[in-house]
Amino acid sequence: MTDIPAHLPHRYPFLLVDRVLEREPGVRVVAEKLVTNGEPYLQGHFEGRPLVPGVLLLEMLAQAGGFLEAGTLHDAAIFLAGVKDARFRAPAFPGDRLRLEVTSEGAFAGLMKLKGAVTCEDRELCTATLLVKRL
């Protein structure tokens, strides 16, 4: 079991990874996020019809991607540098158990390219390519 707060510097309400299921640094990570009714952003997105904003699905993938790094990111300057080919196929709702899968496509000079997919019960909700820069 990976100690998530020890690895990622993100905290409530912006820590968007609950569990790391599989992890091979530099290669592949599978993580999980349980969407609850208590998520602060659901209050206004949208009133009476809560669904997870698509950009947060991308953020979930980016945070899951943080576990591709072997060491803790607490003192690391790491940023999202690009998003390509993002597709949102279906919304995520409270109660959904989201599977966040990221694989590394390669890295050069502190920049890593990741392919990510958010799925829920084998339905693909979101796929994207992310670029992450580590200074």
Query: Catalytic amino acids?
Result: 45
The rounded distance, in Å, linking the Cα atoms of 129 and 135 is: 20
Which of positions 95-114 make contact with another protein (CB under 8 A)? 105-113
* DSSP category for residue 121: T
Residue 131 found at the interface with another protein (CB under 8 A): yes
| Distant-in-sequence, close-in-space partners of 108: CB < 8 Å, separation ≥ 6 | none
Residue 124, token pair as written in the block? 């693909």
Of residues 40 and 110, the one with the C-beta less far from another protein: 110
Residue 80 found at the interface with another protein (CB under 8 A): no
* DSSP category for residue 62: H
Of residues 48 and 106, the one with the C-beta less far from another protein: 106
Binding residues for another protein, rule: CB under 8 A, are 81-82, 105-113, 131, 133
